[in-house]
Amino acid sequence: MSAGPMTPTTELPATRLLPEELEVARLIVSALSLEVAPEEIEPEAPLFNEGLGLDSIDALEMALAISKAYNVKLRSDDERNHRIFASLRSLTAHIEKNRAR
Amino acid sequence: MQPSALEWMHAPERGSVLLARFMVWLVHNVGWWPGHLLLFPIAGYFLAFSPRQRRVARAYLGRALGRRAGLRDLFRLYFAFASTILDRAFLMAGRTGQYRIEVQGLDALKARIAEGRGCLLLGAHFGSFEALRAVADAGSPVEVAVMMHEANAARLKAVFGLMGASRRQPQVIPLGTTESMLQAREVLERGGLVGLLADRAPRGERMLPLPFLGAEAPLPTGPHLLALVLGAPVMLAFGIWRGPRHYEVRFEPFADPPPPGRAGREAAVADRVRRYAARLEALCRRHPYNWFNFYDFWAERGR
């Protein structure tokens, strides 16, 4: 599964956001009232701890905002969670793959 | 990491694993009375050989009692703590027949459960969590999960392992990960109860210094923020040790589900931490020997 939606990212410079990534970035910034411009989020930097500095309650709030906006439910028993929540890029890929259109 | 955070993770309950093992052995081989009598030398032993805990316990007791705490007060506190550990073994084994457990506020809890939105139960390191769980578990038509620090979860699991597989293990959600928060949400979505102790934070973050028993103490804001993010109703829950094999379990209304959105959240969190602290303070004054935070709660060292 990892090969599919992730392929385009390898051809882009790491710092450029795809349009759908920017959309998710905007959602996260507004849902968590972050003091950072959505455009400035590094797509492949970690969201938690050393990256954006989010904690587990932020993660919950982010998950709630995502399920509301995209109807993509993030579940506790998904063993891919670690990869899904790793970065803006991986999170967006997961949303794009699972969203109800 | 703050020294106080480290302190409670590494020296929370002196020798408590060994003690818990011993208590489990007692349950199976000896019974409650001999165990109860043994609590006197056990409490004396811990009182004699834990100078650091004794110092912070004395400081707490002085605040709660409003007078200088003597050796007798310290012994009562240590004895109550050891009692709850002995009782924990019996309550976990389901041997509750000889126990007197008075329950307050169960109707309010049942009304919350009937609403079907689940409920967050906030407790404290105060009295017996196991007495509380015995009531919640036995009386609840819905699932009950407990959020706790991973080290404590492992310890609880080990004790349950000692008891044999006969008892139903509580659903434990380890604190602090993305999964754990999603898991708590899922339990609430199924209408279940999620319990968590709101007087300590595993890390030094998200704390609010508040007046507590006469001096400023850092209290965690995380549990209250979690409730607001989840949009869950909150009740307070305490299992107060009243004497040998006698507990008072209290469920107290605390907060309705918040309106959706982040507006005014920071103020709401601050208000809730304040109300929680005030309630805990009142309980400490009323039942001073139930406080089992044997560390520098006020973070006074190095001030």
Which tens digits make up the pLDDT trace of B144-165? 898 988 777 676 666 666 665 4
Which residue of B176, B186, B230 is in closest CB contact with A56? B176
Q: What is the dihedral sign for C-alpha A63, A68, A73, A75?
A: positive
Which pLDDT score, from 0 to 100, does residue A49 have?
72
Q: Does A75 lie at the interface with B, CB-CB under 8 angstroms?
A: yes
Query: Residue B243: pLDDT above 80?
Result: yes
Q: Which residue of B has its CA nearest to A49?
A: B177
Which residue of A57, A75, A85 is in closest CB contact with B226? A57
Name the more confident of B94 and B18: B94
The amino acid at residue B220 is P
Which residue of B182, B206, B262 is in closest CB contact with A60? B182
Q: What is the pLDDT of residues B163-178, one digit of tens each?
A: 654 456 678 888 878 8
Alpha-carbon distance of B301 to A52, in angstroms, equals 33
Mean pLDDT of B179-205: 87
Q: Is B140 helix (H, G, I), strand (E, B) or coil?
A: coil
CATH number of A16-98: 1.10.1200.10
Count of H helices and E strands in chain B?
11, 9
Task: State how far residue A70 is from chain B, nearest Cα, in angstroms.
Answer: 17
**Which region among A23-32, B65-74, B198-207, B278-287 has the lowest average model confidence (pLDDT)?**
B198-207
Alpha-carbon distance of B243 to B21, in angstroms, equals 22
Q: Does A10 lie at the interface with B, CB-CB under 8 angstroms?
A: no
Chain B residues with CB inside 8 Å of A48's CB? 178
What is the band of B11 on the pLDDT scale with cuts at 50, 70, 90? very low
Name the more confident of B216 and B152: B216
Question: Listing from the earlier edge strand, what are the strands of the sheet with B234-243?
Answer: B100-104, B246-255, B234-243, B119-123, B193-197, B144-148, B171-174
For chain B, the straight-line distance linking the first and the last C-alpha, in angstroms and rounded, comes to 16
Contact B180 A56 (CB under 8 A): yes
The interface predicted TM-score (ipTM) is: 0.78
Name the more confident of B144 and A101: B144
Which pLDDT score, from 0 to 100, does residue B218 have?
93
Residue B117 has what DSSP assignment?
A: S
Mean pLDDT of B253-281: 93
Which pLDDT score, from 0 to 100, does residue B162 have?
63
**Which region among B65-69, B157-161, B212-216, B298-302 has the lowest average model confidence (pLDDT)?**
B157-161
Structure-token pair, residue A6:
């992730």
Residues constituting chain A: 101
Residue with tokens 């869950």: B232
**Which region among A46-50, B19-23, B99-103, B257-261 has the lowest average model confidence (pLDDT)?**
B19-23
Query: Residue B16: pLDDT above 70?
Result: no
Name the more confident of A13 and A60: A60
Which pLDDT score, from 0 to 100, does residue B204 have?
54
Domain boundaries, chain B: 3-290
Q: Is A6 helix (H, G, I), strand (E, B) or coil?
A: helix
Contact B176 A75 (CB under 8 A): no
Beta bridge partners of B157: none
What is the band of B211 on the pLDDT scale with cuts at 50, 70, 90? very high
- Interface mutation vs chain A, best among B150, B179, B221, B229, most A CBs within 10 Å: B179
Average pLDDT, chain A: 83
Which pLDDT score, from 0 to 100, does residue A79 have?
85
Query: Residue B106: pLDDT above 80?
Result: yes
Which pLDDT score, from 0 to 100, does residue B4 have?
37
CA angle, B276 then B277 then B279, to 5° = 65
The amino acid at residue A75 is R
pTM: 0.86
pLDDT above 70 as % of chain B: 86
Contact B226 A60 (CB under 8 A): yes
Which pLDDT score, from 0 to 100, does residue B302 have?
52
Chain A residues with CB inside 8 Å of B183's CB? 76
CA distances from B165 to B46, B157, B158, B169 (A): 31, 11, 11, 9
Which pLDDT score, from 0 to 100, does residue B252 have?
97
Contact A55 B183 (CB under 8 A): no
Average pLDDT, chain B: 85
Mean pLDDT of A28-49: 89
Mean pLDDT of B48-76: 94
